[in-house]
Amino acid sequence: MTELLRHPECMKKLQDEINSVSTHNSNVTEKEVEKMDYLHCVIKEGLRFHPSGPLLSRLSSEDVQFKGYDIAAGTQVIINAWALQRNTAIWGLDAEEYRPERHFGSNLDFNGTDSKFVPFGAGRRLCPGIGFSLALSKLTLANLVKRFNWRLEAGPAGDDKPDLAEASGIDVCRKFPLIVYPSIIHA
């Protein structure tokens, strides 16, 4: 939601898609959400740009040589998913920019099958709640964007951009709450 408020052109594009798929006056349904390509891109880009678990931990099961380094079996390896998902060699020169369009036509999924996109981990330690969390996130975001226009009083710099500061810890969350004001969209 923060990134959508920081990028009103993305918010408008998402609202337009939601309104074109969900033309009735009631809540967006799960079947409708599945038809929303830009919504999927917004969720993917949000998870690429702000992974909830920025560090992944693995235990090497066998001796491995990686880029000239010997890693002994039983060694705990920490993978910086946050850095992987912002790497300009992988994502291009605009890797530090929030751009949902980069996911159109992409076959990247959330199952950890591609090492450049691992917001839920990979392998045996893949998050078991992916299906539930994605369905709930998509449905919630679609309904919030369909039903309301969102306004921010003023960001920390006195502008209309919400703060992106993240708290430190094993998971990533906002350092300060996002305070926005909804206004009902009249159909």
| The pLDDT of residue 186 is above 80 | no
**pLDDT level of residue 174 (50, 70, 90 thresholds):** confident
9-57 pLDDT, tens digit each: 999 999 999 999 999 888 999 999 999 999 999 999 998 888 877 888 8
Phi and psi at residue 87, to the nearest 5°: -70, 120
Please state the domain count of the chain.
Answer: 1
Q: From CA 74, how far away is CA 33, in angstroms rounded?
A: 43
CATH of the domain at 50: 1.10.630.10
Phi and psi at residue 155, to the nearest 5°: -75, 180
Using an 8 Å Cβ cutoff, are 176 and 165 in contact? yes
CB neighbours (10 Å) of residue 54? 19
Contacts of 64 (CB under 8 A, 6+ apart): 70, 71
pLDDT at residue number 158 = 59
Domain range enclosing 85: 2-184
Residue of 57, 55, 75 whose CA lies nearest to 65: 75
Using an 8 Å Cβ cutoff, are 78 and 149 in contact? no
pLDDT at residue number 102 = 93
Among left, alpha and beta (phi > 0; psi -120 to 50; other), residue 182 is beta
- Lowest-confidence pick of 73-87, 138-152, 173-187: 173-187
Using an 8 Å Cβ cutoff, are 23 and 179 in contact? no
87-142 pLDDT, tens digit each: 999 899 999 999 999 999 888 887 777 778 887 877 777 788 888 989 999 999 99
Q: Enter the pTM of the model.
A: 0.86
